[in-house]
Structure 1
């Protein structure tokens, strides 16, 4: 272990990393619960955000963009379709492929969910002052993440 592996207070970098993961998980869970109470889970919101940003997409494209298994995306799309937040239409060139589109009701639900998520995140991060937020922003930019090739 070298100097860079330990903080001045004696905290090991790996231990700090595990603490970071715990805080990140708890924050994500709290945001997801707050959003779900407003009508949409975080994962459903991400799917709707993708459609709002990029327009209609095939389910396979959605799965790739979200980094999820196609079956998981199919189940999510089916649930969103039952809620009338998305529609699926057959591709004229290949009727087995379905294009997923956001409905007006989907846009409205997305707006409510995004507001709920932002409210939850503001609650968490309002504990920091402006200087601390700027420092956290800088620290997050400095974080190195393993790339796909090193896994």
Structure 2
């Protein structure tokens, strides 16, 4: 039987881990990833900014590598889908952290570049981002941190070099 949430209902005793559901959650990758992201987001907000999100930082970081880039390239390098990247670029434009111009070689394409304000924001946020990362992963050894990054890269398709 499917519920309005799209979840197929079964009897309680047929669900894996039902005897101790809180223990089943502790081993659930999805639950643990969601929980880790909550911790990371809280650290980001308290350390870096409640106005600049981690994905927005990623866009600024990608843009710092070249004079200007089109949104498709930004999205691919930052690991963002087209719609999300578009919203982020628009928002960063309103904050005057990036500027957008029409590509003279292809008038349908928009080229995005960091503004001086965007560079300053990135310069300020970069060491704070490193601090968030260090705090979030403090319980792990160096080897565990590298393994976590490798596994998350593999899982997301954003593979890190081995």
Indicate the larger mover: 60-69 or 78-87. 60-69
Q: How many residues align?
A: 132
Match of 2:141 in 1: 133
Of residues 43, 46, 64, the one that matches 2:58 is 46
Of Structure 1 and Structure 2, the greater helix share is in 1
Report what 1:6 is aligned to.
Answer: none
User: Which ranges in structure 2 are unaligned for 5 or more consecutive residues?
Assistant: 1-22, 158-162
Q: 1:84 to 1:116 in 2, by over 3 A?
A: same
Could you say if the C-alpha distance between residues 54 and 28 of structure 1 is closer, same or farther in structure 2, counting changes exceeding 3 Å? farther
Q: Aligned in 2, Cα 1:20/1:57: closer, same or farther, shift over 3 Å? A: same
Secondary structure of the equivalent of 1:40?
coil
Instruction: Give the deviation of 1:141 after TM superposition.
Output: 6.7
SS of residue matched to 2:36:
helix
Normalising by structure 1, what TM-score?
A: 0.68
Task: Say if 1:36 and 1:42, in contact at 8 Å, map to a contact too.
Answer: no
TM-score normalized by structure 2? 0.64
Alpha-carbon shift at residue 23 of structure 1 (Å): 4.6
**1:110 CA displacement:** 1.0
Give the unaligned 5+ runs of structure 1: 1-10
1:31 counterpart (32, 43, 58): 43
Partner of 1:59: 71
1:121 to 122, 127, 133: 133
Contact conserved, 1:81 with 1:88, CA < 8 A, in 2? yes
> Is the partner of 2:141 in helix, strand or coil?
helix
Structure with higher RCO (Cα < 8 A, 6+ apart) = 1
Instruction: Give the secondary structure class of the aligned counterpart of 2:127.
Output: helix
